[in-house]
Amino acid sequence: MKPPLLEITDLSVAYQTDTGPVMALRGANLVARAGEVIGIVGESGCGKSTLAAAVMNLLPATAKVTGGAVRFLGQDILTLAPQAQRALRGTAMAMIFQDPMTAFNPVLTIGDHLVDFQHQSRAPYRAKLARARDQLALVGLSDPDVILRRYPHQLSGGMRQRVAIAAALLMNPQVLVADEPTTALDVTTEAQILHLLRNLRQTYQGTIVVISHHLGVVAELCDRVYVMYAGQVVEQAMVDDLFHAARHPYTRALLACDPASFPNLTPVLPTIPGRLPDLRDPPKGCSFAPRCALRSARCTVAPPWAQVSPSHGVLCHEVGA
């Protein structure tokens, strides 16, 4: 059988800090097949960006991979030589960042960036520029030639995020990671960018990994969703199953807190009581247990991963298996 395009197994990552290591990922698992659109959701601080950075091999120097593997077409990219890792970035996998305001170099034009980002191609400069222009048109920027000569600060946030999407698609990567692609934008712009990303699914053949703490974004774009909590994947399901038959108490709590499910704008939004556990000293058993209504005595031991259906899995003693 062909190996999956992207496979993360038991990945653990710790950030070294003055107050001790922060276990940002604790045995996370994820599989993405060619052409799939995967969503990753979870509260702030649950390790989503760390996961994305690990996929791109962009973890900061203070982060140490303490276990597990990230396989791209069967090959563990964490053990590749730096040169080979670099060769994958931009060509095989590309990333869209959260903050379009600071994602580009202020003293280089958009054209400089987009040509530079094709450095792994041997095409002549003019061809690269033409390619950049085509990509800008593709993401709905009406005057690509003008945009190419602009500096980042001369574009609006929405325009910059479109440029970021165009940039990520320049080399036609097999994996596109979008870390909170709309979080920094206002509601109208967010809707436009979501629309663009949804349309992209028709033309772009690769796999997309969308990270968001916003369930609406995930519902709109994804086929399959991973829910993360405190550095672990706690539930995995097809998007419909997740929204209609969520199992994990944390997923249910997230769904209950989603503002989109309160059309009448209740003045006080419900929140999940309690806080994320301290990742410097994560709980021995189930990490969600302290905040969980279903908690029982066995939650003091780590729960096993349970497959409730071939396409639906959950990390919980009470609702699994």
Partner 1 sequence: MLSYALQRVGLALVILIVVMLAMYGMVFLVPGDPASVALGPRATPALKALLTERMGLDQPVLVQIWRFFSHTLQGDLGVDVWSKRPVLDQIAEAFPHTLILGIVALGWALVLGIALGVISVVYQGRWVDRVLGVVSVSFISVPSFVVAIYLLLIFAVWLHWLPAIGAGKPGDVTSQIKALILPSLAVGIGWVGYLARMVRASMLEIMGANHVRTARAFGLPERRVVLRYALRLAIVPTISVIAMGLGSILSSAVFVETVFSRPGLGTLITGAVFKRNYPVVMGTVLVTTAFYLLVITAADLLIAKLDPRVRDALAD
Ligand X SMILES: Nc1ncnc2c1ncn2[C@@H]1O[C@H](COP(=O)(O)OP(=O)(O)OP(=O)(O)O)[C@@H](O)[C@H]1O
- Site residues, Mg ion (CB under 5 A): 49
Q: Which does 103 bind (CB under 5 to 8 A by kind): Mg ion, partner 1, ligand X, none?
A: partner 1
The two structure tokens encoding residue 25: 């990922």
156 lies in the site for partner 1, by CB under 8 A: no
Residue 91 tokens read as: 């060509």
Query: Which amino acid, one-letter code, is at 50?
Result: T
Q: How do 224-229 and 232-238 pair as beta strands?
A: antiparallel
DSSP, collapsed to helix, strand or coil, labels residue 55 as helix
Tell me which residues touch ligand X (CB under 6 A): 15, 17, 22, 24, 42, 44-50, 60, 62, 213, 279
Closest distance to partner 1 from the beta carbon of 292 (Å): 36
- Residue with smaller CB distance to ligand X, 282 or 285: 282
Q: Which is nearer to ligand X, 45 or 320 (CB)?
A: 45
User: Min. distance of Cβ 164 from partner 1 in angstroms?
Assistant: 8
Q: Which two tokens stand for residue 284?
A: 């021995």
DSSP letter (8 states) at residue 143: -
91 binds, among ligand X, Mg ion, partner 1, none (CB under 5 to 8 A by kind): partner 1
Q: Is 104 in the site for partner 1 (CB under 8 A)?
A: yes
**Cβ of residue 131: shortest distance to ligand X, in angstroms?**
31
* Contact by Cβ (8 Å): 148, 136: yes
Instruction: Return the bridge partners of 209, or none.
Output: 38, 177
CB-nearer residue toward ligand X: 43 or 318: 43
Rounded Cα distance, 225 and 39, in Å: 4
Q: In this chain, which of 1, 81, 107, 268 binds partner 1, going by CB under 8 A? A: 107
- Binding test (CB under 8 A) with partner 1, winner from 116, 257, 283, 291: 116
Q: Are 198 and 142 in contact (CB under 8 A)?
A: no
Sign of CA dihedral 54, 56, 60, 61: positive
Sequence-distant (6+) residues with CB within 8 A of 86 are none
> CB under 5 to 8 A by kind: which of ligand X, Mg ion, partner 1, none does 58 bind?
partner 1
Sheet holding 63-72, edge to edge: 22-32, 6-15, 63-72, 75-76
Pattern of binders to partner 1 over 44-73, x per CB under 8 A?
------------x-x---------------
Q: Which of 89, 201 has the CB closer to partner 1?
A: 89
Task: Give the integer Cα–Cα distance in Å for 30 and 38.
Answer: 9
Q: Tell me the closest approach of the beta carbon of residue 142 to Mg ion, in angstroms.
A: 31
15 makes contact, choosing from Mg ion, ligand X, partner 1, none, with CB < 5 to 8 Å by partner type, with ligand X
SS3 of 229, please?
strand
Choose the one of ligand X, Mg ion, partner 1, none that binds residue 22, judging by a C-beta under 5 to 8 angstroms depending on kind.
ligand X
* Residue 124 interacts with partner 1 (CB under 8 A): yes or no: no
Those residues with Cβ within 8 angstroms of residue 116's Cβ, 6 or more apart along the chain or in another chain: 108
